[in-house]
Amino acid sequence: MRSSWTQIGRTSRKLIVAVVASLLVLAGCSSSDDAASEDVTITFLTHWGPDQVAQLEAAAATFTEQNPNITIQIQAVPFGNLLDTVRTQASSPDGPTIAGLYDAWLPELVRDGLAAPAPAEYADEINSAYPAPLAADVTKEGSVYGYPTEVTLYALNYNKRLFAEAGIANPPTTWAEMVDAAKKINDPANGVQGLGFITSWAAGAVHPFLSLAASNGVTLLGDDGASTNLDDPRFQEVADLYAELLDAGVTVPEMSAANATTTGPFFDSFANGKTGMIIMANWWQGGLKSAMGDAYADVATAPIPVGPSGSVASPTSYSWWTMVNAQASEAQQAAAWKFLSWLNGPDSGENGSSAMGDILMGMGIIPSRTSDVDAHPDELSDPFLKAYVDMLPNAAPFPTVLGGQAATEAIQKQVEALIFGQASASEAIANAKSEADAALQKAAGN
């Protein structure tokens, strides 16, 4: 957001600043505008890779040209270290001033006093410039806590070449069709699995599981907000589906692992044409293009197959947001909000997009700001992204509640136990229900 102060002459501006500052001192207050005018260095923590870090650094450099008193340093850590880094460092004024974070972590960071509420002018901007559900997603107890950056959801990704070789004309629309396609594609002699799962990464293991559940007519959280619906028979049907695929040998557990940068065997097997289908998020498009080269033309997406108790494809969705460190100095916080407003505003990018929107679209990620979506109509009609965009109205957002991350990790543990043959389908569901509910109730103080 560009300040109206730039329209005032230098002499008049200095006079006005002096008068306002004097009045605030007399009133026993301090001015955030004064704090923002100090020479200040802020840091921005992200889990993005080198290419996106370079884009973020370029945007920061442009902002500093316009605001010479504010220096921005970009720091990157692997996704697996992101939350721990924030928890251990953000409690210090020397910790990261800004962090790009997963929305499920918001309630805990607010509770622990690590996330700073947005000043009124920025909160008003967020409430007006973003879809209401996404603005609500970064709002807790009446306060807005950051800028939404992206919205992510899951779809069925499949390899058209493997489908054609197996004589399959169209992607599956039901679970039964998905199992049938997986069996036809499966080719152990050539190292090809029909359908891949993801392990060693909480969201990668849990969100496809929940996407299948939502497409079977049931979502995770119960009406009380402190327990799950995992004991619903429709969740048992999801676990039984996993068991069926595993028993048929069309899913290879050893090909499922993710590493700290959310790549690894699950990614490599799909990129190398060794996985027929996998349920995955839209943001990996850029990685697939880079890894697959000309073979990327074989990649296609389709809605989540609908289960026997479901009626519509309903993928799990989640979003990301940028937090300002509540322990940072007043000057750092003021500079951080000013930078975030600019970074996410329509004047920082190309053709009405924000710089953040341009970076996200470069990764195949759907931006959340309304003006960013409007600025990228051609890219969002891309064949890979279209299935994701089409499912948005029926998406099932992952609940952002206290204990949500611990509940996710509890479910991950049991999904992986099922995949690796350490628990039956019924045992995995029962254990997931017990452990996830305990995590939610502990977080709620029950």
Q: What is the CATH classification number for the domain harbouring 291?
A: 3.40.190.10
Contact (CB, 8 A) for 211 and 414: no
Q: Is the pLDDT assigned to residue 10 strictly greater than 50?
A: no
**Domain presence at residue 393:** no
Band (pLDDT 50/70/90 cuts) for residue 429 is very high
Contact (CB, 8 A) for 56 and 27: no
Coil, helix or strand for 194? strand
Band (pLDDT 50/70/90 cuts) for residue 1 is very low
Q: What is the mean pLDDT of residues 142-165?
A: 95
Lowest mean pLDDT among 16-25, 190-199, 303-312: 16-25
**What is the C-alpha separation between 137 and 349, in angstroms, rounded?**
24
Contact (CB, 8 A) for 402 and 105: no
**Domain presence at residue 3:** no
Q: What is the pLDDT of residue 29?
A: 40
Q: Is the pLDDT assigned to residue 405 strictly greater than 90?
A: no
For the residues of 368-405, what is the DSSP string, one character each? Answer: -SHHHHHH-HHHHTSHHHHHHHHHGGG-EEPP--TTHH
Q: What is the mean pLDDT of residues 283-289?
A: 91
Same domain, 197 and 262: yes
10 Å CB burial of residue 275 (0-12, 13-18, 19+) is buried
Residue found under tokens 């943001």: 283
C-alpha separations of 58 from 15, 115, 286, 376, 437 in Å? 34, 26, 19, 21, 44
Predicted TM-score (pTM) of the model is 0.74
Same domain, 326 and 211: no
For the residues of 20-76, what is the DSSP string, one character each? Answer: HHHHHHHTT---HHHHHHS-EEEEEEE---HHHHHHHHHHHHHHHHH-TTEEEEEEE
Q: Is the pLDDT assigned to residue 3 strictly greater than 50?
A: no
**What is the C-alpha separation between 309 and 223, in angstroms, rounded?**
20
**What is the C-alpha separation between 262 and 406, in angstroms, rounded?**
19
**What is the C-alpha separation between 323 and 337, in angstroms, rounded?**
9
**What is the C-alpha separation between 397 and 314, in angstroms, rounded?**
10
Band (pLDDT 50/70/90 cuts) for residue 96 is very high
Q: What is the mean pLDDT of residues 387-409?
A: 88
- CB neighbour list of residue 383: distance below 8 Å, 6 or more residues apart: 300, 301
| Residue 303 DSSP label | P
Q: What is the mean pLDDT of residues 166-194?
A: 98
Lowest mean pLDDT among 78-87, 287-296, 332-341, 385-394: 385-394
**Domain presence at residue 159:** yes
Residue found under tokens 């609500």: 136
Q: What is the mean pLDDT of residues 239-268?
A: 96
Band (pLDDT 50/70/90 cuts) for residue 37 is low
**Domain presence at residue 255:** yes
**Domain presence at residue 392:** no
Contact (CB, 8 A) for 152 and 366: yes
Same domain, 286 and 411: yes
Band (pLDDT 50/70/90 cuts) for residue 224 is confident
Residues across the chain: 446
Cα angle for residues 444, 118, 441 (degrees, 5° grid): 5
Best CA proximity match to 398, nearest among 220, 279, 235: 220
Same domain, 110 and 56: yes
Q: What is the mean pLDDT of residues 54-68?
A: 97
Same domain, 138 and 159: no
Stronger pLDDT, 33 or 5, i.e. the higher one: 33
Q: What is the pLDDT of residue 267?
A: 98
Same domain, 303 and 163: yes
**Domain presence at residue 8:** no
What is the identity of the amino acid at 34?
A: D
Q: Is the pLDDT assigned to residue 125 strictly greater than 90?
A: yes
Q: What is the pLDDT of residue 93?
A: 67
Same domain, 310 and 421: yes
Q: What is the mean pLDDT of residues 57-66?
A: 97
Best CA proximity match to 99, nearest among 346, 327, 261, 259: 327
Q: Is the pLDDT assigned to residue 104 strictly greater than 80?
A: yes
- What would you report as the CA-atom Rg of the chain, rounded to the nearest whole angstrom? 23
Same domain, 356 and 308: no
Q: What is the pLDDT of residue 286?
A: 87
Structure tokens at 9: 């002459």
Same domain, 146 and 160: no
Same domain, 296 and 353: no
Best CA proximity match to 1, nearest among 106, 162, 180, 129: 129
**Domain presence at residue 335:** yes
Q: What is the mean pLDDT of residues 34-52?
A: 84
Percent of the chain with pLDDT over 70: 91
Best CA proximity match to 129, nearest among 350, 347, 344, 395: 344
Q: Is the pLDDT assigned to residue 31 strictly greater than 60?
A: no
Q: What is the pLDDT of residue 142?
A: 92
Same domain, 343 and 413: no
Q: Say how many domains are in the chain.
A: 2
**What is the C-alpha separation between 225 and 444, in angstroms, rounded?**
9
**Domain presence at residue 4:** no
Q: Is the pLDDT assigned to residue 95 strictly greater than 90?
A: no
Supply the range of the domain harboring residue 428.
Answer: 153-317+401-443
Q: What is the mean pLDDT of residues 63-68?
A: 97
Structure tokens at 445: 């103080």
Q: Is the pLDDT assigned to residue 15 strictly greater than 60?
A: no
Residue found under tokens 């049907």: 237
Same domain, 95 and 224: no
Stronger pLDDT, 444 or 434, i.e. the higher one: 434
